[in-house]
C-alpha cells in the first residue's frame, strides 16, 4: 500500500484525517496542531510537541498501571512492572503510531522528509504527544478509552508471555525492518487430551523456518517460537532486539 506524501502544512483536511484515525474530534485543533509539530520544524521547542510528549508519557504510564492493577489482581508487583515496561516501551508506542498511520500527519523538518518510515523514537513520541493533547482537550476518560482501545490486545499478549515480554511483537518489528516480511507461525504438532493439549509451533520469515517450541497453548507456543527465532537471528540480548526493532 502506498503511503501519503509528506505533510507540508497542517490544513483542516489533514487534521480531520488525523481525528478520523484517532476516533476523536478535538474541540481545540490548535493543541492537535502542536501535537503533530516536531521540534525539527517548529520555531521554538516550546511550540513543538515535546511538552505534550512529556505529559502524554506520564498519562500513558498511569493508565496502563491502573489497568494492569485491576485486570491482574493475583499478579505481584514485579510481574506487573515487567508487563508495563513492554506496553509503554518505545517499540510498542511506535508500533501503534504506524498501525494507525499517525506518522502520516506529522509535520517534520526537511531533513526528516526522506519519504521512508520515520525513526521509532519519533513515531513513539507522536503517540505520546497525541495522548497528552487528547487529555487536555477531552479529559482522562477520553484518553483512557483511546489508550485501552489501542493497547488491549498488546496487554493480553504480553501478560500471556511467561517472561512478561511480547516476543512476537519484537520479532514482527525486527522482521519487517530487516527483511520487509511478517513472521508466520506454523502448528507442527499437538499432544495430550482435549482439555490439556500442548502445541508445537515454529516461526518462519520468508522461506526460512526457525526452531520450533512447545507450549501449553497456541499463543504461548507462538511466543516461545518467536523467542527461538530472535535467538537464531543473533540480535544479542532482548533489550538489544527491542532497540533494533524500534530504531
Task: Identify the active-site residue in 53, 57, 103, 137.
Answer: 57
- 210-217, Cβ contacts within 8 angstroms, sequence gap of 24 or more: 212/188, 217/160
Could you tell me the CA-to-CA distances from 82 to 46, 76, 140, 164 in Å, in that order? 33, 10, 24, 5
Please answer whether residues 142 and 24 qualify as being in contact, where contact means their C-beta atoms are separated by less than 8 angstroms: yes
Determine whether 13 is an active site residue.
no
Please answer whether residues 183 and 229 qualify as being in contact, where contact means their C-beta atoms are separated by less than 8 angstroms: yes
Q: Residue 89 and residue 154: Cα distance in Å, rounded?
A: 12
Residue 23: all three cell numbers together? 476516533
Please answer whether residues 118 and 112 qualify as being in contact, where contact means their C-beta atoms are separated by less than 8 angstroms: yes
Do β-strands 208-209 and 184-191 pair in parallel, antiparallel, or remain unpaired?
unpaired
* 8-state DSSP, 107: B
Q: Residue 47 and residue 105: Cα distance in Å, rounded?
A: 17
Q: Residue 213 and residue 135: Cα distance in Å, rounded?
A: 43
Q: Which helix (H) or strand (E) holds 204?
A: strand 198-205
Task: Identify the active-site residue in 53, 67, 103, 128.
Answer: 128
Please answer whether residues 176 and 246 qualify as being in contact, where contact means their C-beta atoms are separated by less than 8 angstroms: no
Determine whether 145 is an active site residue.
no
Residues with catalytic roles? 57, 128
Amino acid at each position: 500500500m502506498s503511503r501519503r506524501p509528506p505533510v507540508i502544512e497542517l490544513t483542516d483536511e489533514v487534521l480531520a484525517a488525523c481525528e478520523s484515525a484517532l476516533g476523536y474530534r478535538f474541540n481545540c485543533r490548535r493543541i492537535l496542531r502542536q501535537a503533530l509539530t516536531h521540534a525539527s520544524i517548529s520555531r521554538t521547542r516550546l511550540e513543538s510537541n515535546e511538552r505534550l510528549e512529556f505529559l502524554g508519557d506520564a498519562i500513558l504510564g498511569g493508565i496502563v498501571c491502573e489497568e494492569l492493577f485491576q485486570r491482574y489482581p493475583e499478579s505481584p508487583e514485579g510481574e506487573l512492572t515487567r508487563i508495563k515496561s513492554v506496553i509503554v516501551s518505545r517499540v510498542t508506542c511506535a508500533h501503534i503510531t504506524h498501525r494507525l498511520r499517525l506518522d502520516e500527519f506529522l509535520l517534520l523538518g526537511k531533513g526528516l522528509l526522506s519519504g521512508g518510515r520515520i525513526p521509532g523514537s519519533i513515531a513513539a513520541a507522536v503517540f505520546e504527544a497525541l495522548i497528552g493533547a487528547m487529555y487536555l482537550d477531552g479529559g482522562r476518560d477520553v484518553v483512557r478509552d483511546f489508550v485501552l482501545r489501542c493497547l488491549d490486545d498488546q496487554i493480553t499478549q504480553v501478560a500471556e508471555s511467561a517472561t512478561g515480554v511480547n516476543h512476537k511483537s519484537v520479532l514482527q518489528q525486527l522482521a519487517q525492518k530487516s527483511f520487509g516480511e511478517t513472521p508466520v507461525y506454523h502448528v507442527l504438532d499437538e499432544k495430550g487430551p482435549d482439555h490439556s493439549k500442548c502445541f508445537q509451533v515454529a516461526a518462519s520469515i520468508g522461506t526460512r523456518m526457525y526452531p520450533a517450541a512447545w507450549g501449553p497453548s497456541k499463543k504461548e507456543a507462538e511466543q516461545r517460537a518467536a523467542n527461538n527465532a530472535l535467538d537464531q537471528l543473533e540480535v544479542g540480548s532482548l533489550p538489544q532486539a527491542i532497540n533494533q526493532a524500534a530504531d
